[in-house]
Chains A and B, each alone.
Chain A
Amino acid sequence: MKNNDVILQVTTKVIVFIIVLFSIYIFFAGHYTPGGGFIGGLMTSGAIVLLLLTYDIKTVAEMLPLDYKLVAAAGLFIAAATSTGALLFDLPFLTHGYWEIWLPILGETGLHTAVFFDTGVYLVVVGVTLTIIQTIGVSE
Chain B
Amino acid sequence: MTNLLIYPLLIPLLTAILLIFFKNIYWQRTISIISTALTSITAGSLIYVNYTTGIQSLNLSNWEAPFGITLVSDMLSALLVTASSLITLLCLLYSFRSIGEPREKYYYYSVMQFLLLGVNGAFTTGDIFNLFVFFEVMLMSSYVLIVLGGTKIQLRESLKYLLVNVLSSALFVIAVAYLYSVVGTLNMAHLSARIAEIPTEQTGILTVIAVLFLIVFGLKGAIFPLFFWLPGSYYAPPIPVLAMFGALLTKVGVYSIMRTYTLIFNHDQIYTHSLLGLLALLTITIGVIGAIAYSDLKKIIIYNIMVAIGVILFGVSTMSESGLTGSIFYLLHDMIIKAALFLLVGVMITITGTSNLRNISGLIHKYPLLAWTFFITALSLAGIPPLSGFIGKILIVQGGFEEGELVGSLVVIFSSLFVLFSVMKIFINGFWGTPKAWDHEEKAPVKFLLIPCIVLVTIAVLYGFGADVTEPFISKAAESLINPSVYVDAVLKE
Contacts and interface: CB of A to CB of B under 8 A. Distances in A.
A76 B58 CA distance: 23
Contacts of B1: 90
Contacts of A96: 61
B455 interface: no
A95 B1 CA distance: 15
Nearest to B58: A92
B20 interface: yes
Interface of A: 69-70, 72-73, 76-77, 80, 84, 87, 90-96
B62 A73 contact: no
Nearest to A96: B61
**What are the 9 closest A-B residue pairs judged by CB atoms, nearest first?**
A73-B20, A94-B61, A95-B62, A94-B60, A93-B6, A76-B17, A77-B17, A92-B62, A87-B3
Nearest to B1: A90
Nearest to A90: B2
A70 B58 contact: no
A92 B20 contact: no
Contacts of A77: 17
Nearest to B13: A80
Say what secondary structure dominates the interface of chain A.
Answer: helix
B62 A80 contact: no
Given A84-B10, A87-B3, A93 B17 contact: no
B271 interface: no
Contacts of B10: 80, 84, 93
Contacts of A95: 60-62
Contact of A92 (B13, B14, B17, B59): B59
Given A80-B14, A84-B10, A92 B2 contact: yes
11 contacts: A70-B20, A73-B17, A76-B20, A77-B17, A84-B10, A87-B6, A90-B2, A91-B2, A92-B2, A93-B6, A96-B61
Contacts of B3: 87, 90, 92-93
B228 to A, nearest CB: 31
A76 B61 CA distance: 18
B115 to A, nearest CB: 16
Nearest to A87: B3
Given A69-B20, A77-B17, A91-B2, 13 more contacts: A70-B20, A73-B17, A73-B20, A76-B17, A80-B10, A80-B13, A87-B3, A92-B3, A92-B58, A93-B3, A93-B58, A95-B60, A95-B61
Contacts of B17: 73, 76-77, 80
Interface in B19-39: 20-21
A69 B173 CA distance: 29
Contact of A91 (B13, B21, B62): B62
Interface string B53-66: 00000111110000
A75 B190 CA distance: 34
Contacts of A87: 3, 6
Contact of B21 (A70, A84, A94): A70
A72 B1 CA distance: 31
Residue in B17, B20, B21 whose Cβ sees the most chain A Cβ within 10 Å? B17
Interface in B129-159: none
A8 B102 CA distance: 42
A104 to B, nearest CB: 32
A91 B60 CA distance: 9
Nearest to B6: A93
A95 B59 CA distance: 10
Given A80-B13, A84-B14, A87-B3, A93 B20 contact: no
Contacts of A76: 17, 20
A93 B60 contact: yes
A125 to B, nearest CB: 16
A73 B21 contact: yes
A72 B16 CA distance: 12
B176 to A, nearest CB: 21
Contacts of B14: 80, 84
B150 to A, nearest CB: 12
A87 B60 CA distance: 11
A50 B1 CA distance: 49
A95 B61 CA distance: 4
A91 B68 CA distance: 14
A65 B20 CA distance: 18
Interface in B46-84: 58-62
Residue in A73, A90, A93, A94 whose Cβ sees the most chain B Cβ within 10 Å? A93
A91 B3 CA distance: 8
A90 B21 CA distance: 29
A76 to B, nearest CB: 5
B45 to A, nearest CB: 16
Contacts of B58: 92-93
A119 B1 CA distance: 29
Contacts of A72: 20
A128 B62 CA distance: 30
A95 B2 CA distance: 12
